[in-house]
Every structure is written in C-alpha cells, then in structure tokens.
Chains A and B, each alone.
Chain A
Amino acid sequence: MTYENVKKEPLVRIAKRPELSKGKATLVRLSSILVALLIGGLLILVLGYNPIAVYADIIKGSLLTGTALKSTVKIAVPLLGAALAIAPAFKMKFWNCGAEGQITVGAIVSTYFALYHVDNLPSPVLFIVAFAAAAVVGGLWGLIPAFFKARWGTNETLFTLMLNYIAIGFVKYLRIGPWMDKGQMFPKVPMFDKAARLPEVFGVHIGWIIVLALVIFIYVYMTRTKHGYEIAVVGESVSTARYSGMNVGKVIMRTMFLSGAIAGIVGWMMVCGTNYTLSDTTANGYGFTAIVVAWLSKLNPFTMVGISAFLAILQKGSNTIQTNFGIPASASEVLTGLILLCMLGSEFFINYRFVFRKKTVGGDD
C-alpha cells in the first residue's frame, strides 16, 4: 500500500458558521443586490451605454411620474399576491410551483362571470361572486396535487408544474374555441364590459388594497394562529406533527387550498383589474417569479412587499430604457435573474464560511 505523501490540506473547505446577527445577514443580502447591479452595469457598459444614466432612467421611468408609479404598482400587486399565496405552502415545505396555473384558473372563472353574467348581476355582486369563485376554483386546483401528496407522497414540484400547462392549455382552447371574439381577425377572448372592470382607488384597481390586506392576513395567519403553527410543524417534521396529534394530510390539503385560493384571487385581479380580458399569458410568469420572491423574503410577508416592489421597478423601468436608449426591455429579465441568482448565492455566506488552507504535509510548500 503505497501512498503519495505530498498531500496538502484542501485549499478551501466549507464549515458551518455560528449564527450571524440579523443586521449582518441583511447587510450580506443587500450587498448581493449591489453585486448583481454591478454585473448588470458592467454589461450595460460593454454594450456602450452609461450604466448610471441607465439606472437613473429606470428609477425615473418607474417611480417619478404619476402614470409610471401607477404602472409599477400594477406590476407589483399580482407579484406580491402570488408570493403571499406561495408562502404558506413553502413554509410547509410543499414546493408549490403551480401558482401560475392557480392564477390562470382563477382568471378563467372570473372571465366566465365577467363575460356571461355582466348583464344579469349588478357590478358589486358580480365582483364578489367572481372573487369567491376564483378563490374556490384556484383552491381546488391547488388541492389536486395536495391530495396526491398527502395520500401517496407524489412529487409535488413536478405535479404542480404540469398543472400550470394544463390550465394554460385550457385557456388556449377557450380563446380559439367557445370564448373567441367573433369580431376579431386574431382569435382572442373579448374585452370585458365596463361594468365588469374593477373600480380604481388612487388610479390603481382595488386589488392593491386586497393584497395589502392579505399581507396582514398571511402574517397573522402564519405567526399567530393554530393553523399557522401546524403548517410550521408539518414543514419541520412530519413525524413530530403526527406525534403531537396533527392530521398531516388534512393540514397539507387545507394549506394548499388556501395557497391556491389566494393565487386564484390574483387571477381575478389580473383579468378584472389589469387586462380586462383573458389570454394564455394572463399569469405572465408572476407565479414563477413569485416563488423566488417568497423564498428570498424568507417567507416574511413584509419583506415580500419590498422585494416585489423592487422587481416591479426593474420591469417597468426597463420599458423606459427601451424607449430612451434602445436597450431591449428583456434587460429587466436579465437583471431580475441576476439579482435573484446573486441573492440565492448570498444565503450561503449567512450559514457557512470558507476555511482556507493552514497546513501541508510532506511537501516543501
């Protein structure tokens, strides 16, 4: 048994670090955003633009005028709503990647009421009925994977992902089939009647008030109620949950119903408040981006407000830089992606540290 005895201690190894203080952890996270913006700035510079001017334009184009601010809020509201929907499921370690589909089914039922009952229901009743129906159907859509997970332990990540495309496929069917607007060249669902459009408060549809109320609701639900406690316990350890008398299957299904219901409400807002029609892209990827928002917020509803606002600013601002600089609006996705990836990476430095080489054996290093 020969052994090459010039071996070094590994150059870098990873060790768990004692807990970081909250302030320091926040600092790490904030600096990761800064790193992402620096990389983005570098990219802008390479393309031959002035990064500072571009970033300034993003801010200006998203916050500094009334109209700009309103469109930014319109982007932030569904994003925040979807993140709130995901939070309870993720707390339970149920990886609900299906908010996109749950938003879509909520939008479908809302559209049904907006198109076919606008004449026989007064507006407020119509809104409430559509709202309730969107919540219930969204909830049921979320319940399907939860049922299979609770009963047989199917993989919920893949299951919920597939359900998204089933819901979106159904919208396509409605768009070119039964709900097609006959008067149009391009097959699309008709625009809603004025009576089926949500009223505005301060220039933005009332969805923003509902979402802010949901922030409080989710916060209280998760931290103060028995249900919230059950969710936390199931997420940490299923056997402890059973030991303490919880019906784990029931908790999973109930929580996913809630998660889907909130997503369904977001769908209701999207069609009745923002788009005034239904399309394949009604959910617009919010269901996916929201997953990252929820995760990076550590499932804290108040942090989610900040992060979704930030991403909305980027998205809205990128439209402005397209007009002003000719930089494609997809820049917002690139920047968003960069920021998300950097923030994900930064979590590591909060929990672990690198230990560098101290000694070598045998060699004359």
Chain B
Amino acid sequence: METAAIQLKNLTKTFGSVVANDKVSLEIRHGEILALLGENGSGKTTLMNMLSGIYYPDGGEIYVNGKEVIIDSPSDAFDLGIGMIHQHFKLVDVLTAAENMVLGLKEKGRLNTKVIGEKMRTICEQYGFNIDPDKKIYDMSVSEKQTVEIVKMLYRGADILILDEPTAVLTPQETEKLFAVLRNMRADGKAVVIITHKLTEVMELSDRVSVLRKGVHVGDLITAETNPQELTNLMVGRAVTLNIERTKCENPVKRLEIRNLSCVNDDGVSVLDNINFDAFGGEVLGIAGISGCGQKELLEGIAGLQKVSGSIIFYPVDGSEPQNINGNSPMDIIKRGISLSFVPEDRLGMGLIGNMDLADNMMLRSYNKGKSPFADRKTPAELAEKVVDELEVVTPGINVPVRNLSGGNVQKILVGREIASQPTVLMSAYAVRGLDINTSYTIYNLMNEQKNRGAAVIYVGEDLDVLVELCDRILVLCGGKVSGIVDGRTTTKEEVGLLMTSLGGAKEAEKQ
C-alpha cells in the first residue's frame, strides 16, 4: 500500500483543563475524500487546526508522506502542501481576490496582479470555478468567498485540502457545485478532508469516514460499507433511538401572532420575507432550516434586538388586550409586563457573560427590578444556587466565572435563568448545539416541562430527528421565507428536508 498523505499518531491537545483531542491517530490518503465526522465539540476542528499550523499539539506525532514533521505555523503547513479552508474565512476584506491569493507567499518579484489573475484563471478553468480576480472581498457573497478560499489553497499548490463545515453557509445548488469540484480534485489525486456533522454529506461524498467522539478517535469506516445508523451510533457513543416524550397539546391558546414580518439586514439584503405564523401556549413550535436562512433574525426580531417590519402581536395570559410589540426594545417589552424568554444561539456572546460569575449572570434579567439605585445581589445568588441544584450544574460554586464551566453546564445556567421567570413565550436557538447527549435530553425535558406548564415554546433546531420527535408543529424556513408549516406528529424527516432545500418543496407539500 502506498504511504498515506498524512498520518497522525497519538495527537493530543488541551486547552487549560479541557482535553480537546486525546491521542488521536488517523490517516489521510491521496485520491480520496475523507469525512471527519463528529458531534459539535468533538474536537474535529481542533485536530485539523493542528495540521494547518494554527494550534501546536501538546503530544503525538504528525507524518507527511511518511516523514515525521513539525508544523509550527500555517506557513509550515503550506510548505507541506496542506491547505485548510476555515469555517470563518481567512480573507482580508479590503483586498481583492488576487491580492488575497499571494498573501504571505514567498514568491519573488514585484506585485503584479495581472500575472496572479492569469494563474487564477488557469486554476478556475481546471476545476470549474468562476471568480473575478479584481473584485474586493467585501463585495462578494458567501459562496464567492468560499471559492476564493479554495482557489487560494490550490494557488499555493496544496495537495491536501481540509474543509471545515463547508456547506453550512451554502444553498443546496452551491453545495452540489462544491461537491463536484471536490470530486474533480479527488480524480486529480489530491487528498480531501471534509469536516462535518451531517450524515447525508458523509454518505454522498466521502470514500472513508473517521469518527471522533469527545476528542477521542472512535472508528474508521469505508463509506460504502456503512450506513447512517452505524455512524450515528459511533458518533454519539451508544445505540440511540431518540425517544423524547411528547405529550398531547392540551387546549392550546394563541400567545404570539406574527404577521408580514420582513427584515433587511445592514448590507441591504432581505433576510426575512413576509413571515406569518402563530405560536400557541402548551405547544412546541419547531423552526427548521439550513443555517443562516433567517432563524437568527426571526428570533431576535421578536425579542426586540433586530429591526423588522410587520406585526408581532402578543396575547397576555391574563386575557387583557393583545399588544403589538414590534419596535419595542427588550427593556420596553419587560416594562410592558410581557414575559418573553430567549435562549440565544451565541451563549457566551449574547446570553451570558463569560467573565462574570454565575450569580452576576443571573442578574442580567433582573438587575433593573425595583426603584432603588442599588442592585439586588441576593436574589440572583439564590437563583444561581437553585439552578445549580435543580439542573445538576457541575461547578465549584456560584462565584466562578461562567467561562470556566463546560459547554453543557453553561447552557444549563442560561436555560435555567430563562425558565426561572415562568415565561409565557420561550424562544430557543440551537439549544443543544455542542452538548453531549445527556445534557441534550435535559434540555428537551425542560422544553417539554415549559410546554406542559402552558408556555408557548419556539425551538429552532438543526437536527431533524430531534425536531420531528420533539415538536408539535414545525415551521420550515428557506431563504428567509416560510416554505411550509407541518404537523410534527405526522411529518417525516424527508418531508422537512425537502422543504428546507426549496420553496418548490413547499408547493409539493401543500398539494399532499
């Protein structure tokens, strides 16, 4: 057998006390597409970052074409022919595509964008790309930027290409195009690694799969000889049959009525287009869609954090007059006595403050209560104790900065605080992202508890299996539009998936 392009032996990386990769050994081969599969937080990106020179391993060895190497910086990685396309593109906005190509290259001679453009064109023609070398990055769409990234790696002569979740930001058509390009590269003898947690992609594209779980390499499989069920089992650690207890909806009451909601973002792009739906107390309304299809803007729009047009009518529990809360700031909403809780996607960037302790984080929602200029610190501390106790948060105490807790415990703190106010409407975005299975179940149960208590729960999720098991109804977003609302009890994963990828699917679904 020919020597592997890259061989990793016992690679280990720790951050403080967190072990991100524990003695990982695997192989990457030429002329092959390898899928690196794992849940969020399983250490896939960290592992590949050690190959691309972003992180330096704490232990273990890396072999490239059979020789042990040390990769201390991205430039070492380029010298070895390793190119990585990061999830957050590494492009300089104010420069053109051509200028981005040659950043950091040790080529001689003066900067001649014409020559660079020529070389780019050759690469584009070979693999079927299309980019304008003189276009500034800030004028480009997401998929154009990704193309620039890939061309950049090829320009640098990479023959080992690593892509970190490349499809997360792409439309289905763009994804297809990308896959075609990657297959071209494989045919060309290049080694391709695609980091993903999506089983469909693994099955469609890869030749081999390596699975990571909690930083540990748990298996290598030939794609043709495996199936999604087996991969899921490996990924999550035990044979799981999702079994979320879904209670019947007891006399649902309308709590939220969204009409003609539209949103144009700062770049002038329409991200939400005429959204209409109702949310009922005693029901979990799921929201599905490819990431970046307007989920964030929808929830933030309702919470008063994003400027939107249209109406957001709130129906109070006491039966008083319904109120339109669009245009209200979060403080206005609180002041109007509306109990709206929100578990945002960015936990430590929006929902919590990493550098503050548990008690101070509890204060975020309640600090402004009362007339006194002094903040009440006792009640939040008690609440923190209560949340730690009831949700079994693992922490040395309530005076520890939240950033020192693990991802699951951070989320418990956030969700615990949000449900403590007995909300009428509870919104959550990707509430289980990056969490282990057990914590995920805790979160599902909490959502269900709120539903049974009579709250209107809005659950934005990415895992379709969970959505169809947990939700009473599922609203599917596609490109900022509602492509359909389906009954969670009767729908299938496939139906939702179809709605996610095309508005045409919506018409299909309506006919049935």
Contact = CB atoms under 8 A, between A and B. Distances in A.
Interface in B331-382: 331, 333-334, 342, 344, 346, 349-356, 360, 363-365, 367-368, 373-375, 377
B17 interface: yes
Contacts of B377: 224
Contact of A239 (B17, B350, B365): B350
Nearest to A239: B350
A233 B79 contact: no
Interface in B280-304: 303
Given A225-B374, A233-B353, A1 B159 contact: yes
A7 to B, nearest CB: 5
Given A240-B353, A247-B329, A361 B364 contact: no
A18 B69 contact: no
A362 B373 contact: no
Nearest to B330: A245
A5 B69 CA distance: 7
A333 interface: no
B72 A245 contact: no
A233 B274 CA distance: 34
Overall SS of chain B's interface: loop
Interface residues of B, number: 45
Contact of B363 (A1, A7, A229, A247): A229
A119 interface: no
B362 to A, nearest CB: 11
A7 B375 contact: no
Nearest to B300: A243
Contact of B364 (A5, A10, A228, A244): A244
A322 B49 CA distance: 58
Given A1-B80, A240-B352, A224 B375 contact: yes
Contacts of A226: 367-368, 373-375
Interface string B158-200: 0100000000000000000000000000000000000000000
A16 interface: yes
Nearest to B376: A226
B64 interface: yes
Given A7-B69, A361-B70, A236 B356 contact: yes
Contacts of B351: 240, 243
B305 interface: yes
Interface string B299-326: 0000101000000000000000000000
Interface string A2-43: 010101111001001010000000000000000000000000
- Sort A-B residue pairs by CB-CB distance and give the 10 closest, nearest first: A245-B331, A245-B330, A244-B364, A236-B353, A239-B350, A226-B375, A7-B70, A1-B81, A243-B350, A229-B375
Interface of A: 1, 3, 5, 7-10, 13, 16, 18, 224-230, 232-233, 236-237, 239-240, 242-247, 361-362
Given A1-B80, A10-B72, 9 more contacts: A13-B56, A226-B373, A226-B374, A236-B355, A237-B349, A242-B305, A242-B330, A245-B368, A247-B329
